[in-house]
A and B are shown apart, each in its own frame.
Chain A
Amino acid sequence: MSDDNKPAVLPGDENAAAPSDEVVVAEPVDALDRLAMLELDNVSLSYHAKKKSFDHGTHHVLNQVSLQLYEGETLGIIGRNGVGKTTLLRLMAGILAPTLGKVHIHPGKSASLLTLGLGFKADLSGRDNALLAAMLQGSTRKQAKSFLPSIQEFSELGDSFYEPVKDYSSGMRARLAFTTALMTHVDILLVDEILSVGDAHFREKAETAMKSRITGGQTVVFVSHMAEQVKKLCDRVVWLDQGKVVSIGPAAEVVDAYTQHVKDARIAAREKNVVATS
């Protein structure tokens, strides 16, 4: 892998045009001497949309994003809906390829996306769905079968585990989905909005389970809307806006700057509204 000792990532060097007075430039010192598991080097992703509504039909999802992910750290990604968070995870997982730039993953390491509900089939039982999901995540049939009792137990589904998923409540579905996803064993875990599931009791349990993975040395990239959760779980945070990195740095700083920005934007919008209506 290239530069382990690369200095802090400056958000988009020449293209820091995004909402940018609160750019945070800091890298926790301990990150510097750690192994870079995954590196995005000036990565852009755009595609041709059918409707010519964007830049001559080209939709820019990510724009020159650079960042490093170090071994054992938990990196958070925050930003509003549609700023490219999920696309960023898909690039990291190798599901998509960047239009420009490079995604380097440390040789021999694998990254996998942990998302809810791998295409649940409503007519099948929770057990069958769990089995299929585990296999889709790379387990053999035998391994997948051996996971089933612990999935049934952790998800607290009881005998409903053998009932069709279509008879589940949304909370039951969420519990099954989270538990199944938790079974993945990979070097880099990419987590997309999965801790906001179920009732308060299960959410706490899910968070604890995720925390124990994190403290167990797992490298994690974590996407969430919930600023507080990100602050609690992550070491460093990337703030994305309109496909660009606004800032990257210690979790507390970036999350606070982000919440402040969201608040300011809301106030600005309200004022604009008042002006418009008066």
Chain B
Amino acid sequence: MVPEMSDHSGTSSLSQDSTQRPLSRRQVFERRQKRRSLLIALASSLAVIGLLVALIPQTPGWYKVKRSFFNGPILDETFPALLRAFVKDIQIFLWCAPCILVLGMLLAICRNVRSPLLFPLRLFAAAYTDIFRGIPVILTILLIGFGVPGLGMDRPWNSPYLWGSVALILAYSSYVSEVFRAGIESIHESQRAGARSLGLSTSQTLRHIIIPQAIRRVIPPLMNDFVSLQKDVALISLIGPIEILRQAGIDKSKYANFTPYVGAAIIFLLLTIPETRFVDHLMSRERRRTSGTAVR
């Protein structure tokens, strides 16, 4: 063995004050590597952005696109109305979310029951998730939003808000129930053995031991679904309610300009970007907690 190789400078300097000791081979290498990665990332980003900024305005239609999509004065004028309409989206989201959580959990539990008496429930839950996971959300909204009010019930039972929300709840509770189901199935069998050995019944075990742990485990993927829901609320505009997308459509026609759509997109991003960042943060924390250090 080469003498230098057996010098454990890397491990010994870890416990020491690094300012007093010379950097270890590993530290020198990692610093250089880090600086290099940073420089490459910076250079490549600048090149791509520069290229886009330089090339797009060269296209023949750019001045027209700029006028009809990125029109400053129109944005200023329509933005407040868009924001007011967005309150409606948030309201719909806020009453749909708890319904989806409850219904999703009930469906997940139904799919886990083993009692033959409750077999119809299990069958129903399986069929339900198959159907609503398999239909595009937009179709569910159109079918329910136009179909049910056709039954001719009086107000408020013909409200598009109501049936649009119901359609969202049906679609999303089927997604969420699959997330819950995966969470329930991910809890190790030894937890069940521990609980049952104490005399807890199947349902007590599910309620006190399995579900609390499953919920903790699925919070990040669940949040992901709710970020999607936040956006899909806009699909309700198709059956009438004046929420942000509808408002943007109205303004588009009024000004004969697409800028309100860009305005609506900006408003969505203001909400969803922090949300997705937060989910990413939760997910990486969960990963660190369960799998230790990252492998290079």
Q: Do A and B bind each other?
A: no
A interface list, Cβ under 8 A from B: none
B interface list, Cβ under 8 A from A: none
